[in-house]
Amino acid sequence: MARLIGYMANRADRLRDAFDQERAAITALPADLRSAWGIGFYQGDEVLHKKQPTPDGAVQWSAVTENVRTDCAIAHVRLATVGGFSVDNTHPFRLRQWLFAHVGTLTAFEEIHDKLRADLPDFLRRNIRGSSDSELFFHWILAGLHEVNQLEAQTPSPSVVLQAISNAVAKIEGLVGPARAPSTLNMLLSNGRGMFALRHGGSFGYVQRTGVSDPTNPDAAAEPEARPGSPLLRYVMLVAGGPDVPPGYEGLDDQQLLFVNRDLEIRLHSL
């Protein structure tokens, strides 16, 4: 089973601890004995990747995040429904400062693929490297940002980004048509300064935490206070891809958008 994971925090040194605390929610289901995975994250102005593009055992997030210092990350465990296992098809995808990952499938993708690709601006069409439906979805969001001259903006208005996501969904669903089942378009998008999520089919949940518990003792109290000079860890975790919203998480409504800003404030919007 695929997993889509988003993380934003107030500290860059606690990713592994947060992933460990959320391990029950972010671990792929037992059927995922062999998994391909990727994680994209921000360190200052750099956008970095770690990827295992071919199935190679169950994902060990504690090992993946061991030396990753970041306060904003998107991680993905892939079940290859469209496009084979390769680096070019491994999420998250990146263009400039933007990271994107998706779980789900575009309905009738083989039928709409050529039209989706042909209608993109030429420079975005040339940037597509893989064969997945997810990468095309990402590039349609980028096309929406480009149309309003916000693709390279350092801090685009959240409303502009949300509109670009909405327009990309409308483009896809318009090509699919009302007679077919809607596509599953659960996705995460970030530029390092905010994170955007969409639930469109399937389930999608989020949780806000302060502090972490001892992972070896779930009954222990959360850390009482931070070290001098270090704030207590706060983070938002977003998880999609399972059959249900993880226990203790808030569920997004279908066709609902979520935005997390740099202060870890959450805002909800209808598609």
pLDDT, tens digit, 9 for 90 and up, residues 110-123: 898 899 899 999 99
Q: pTM above the 0.95 mark?
A: no
**Which residue(s) pair with 186 in the sheet?**
103
pLDDT digits (tens, 9 = 90+) for 8-24: 999 999 999 999 999 99
Which tokens hold the place of 90? 């491994």
- Distances from the Cα of 155 to the Cα of 145, 152, 191, 195, 202, angstroms: 12, 9, 8, 12, 30
Q: Between 140 and 27, whose confidence is greater?
A: 140
DSSP string, 214-225: -TT-TTSPPP-S
Nearest residue to 142 via CA among 109, 182, 173, 187: 187
Which tokens hold the place of 29? 């289901």
- The mean pLDDT of 97-126, rounded to a whole number, is 92
* pLDDT score for 239: 97
- The mean pLDDT of 51-72, rounded to a whole number, is 85
The single-letter DSSP state of residue 247 is T
Task: Please answer whether residues 92 and 100 qualify as being in contact, where contact means their C-beta atoms are separated by less than 8 angstroms.
Answer: yes
Task: Please answer whether residues 221 and 229 qualify as being in contact, where contact means their C-beta atoms are separated by less than 8 angstroms.
Answer: no
- The mean pLDDT of 149-160, rounded to a whole number, is 94
Q: Band the pLDDT of 229: cuts 50, 70, 90.
A: low
* pLDDT score for 220: 45
Exposure letters 111-149 (e unless 16+ CB within 10 A, then b): ebbeebeeebeeebeebbebebbbbbbbbbbbbbbbeee
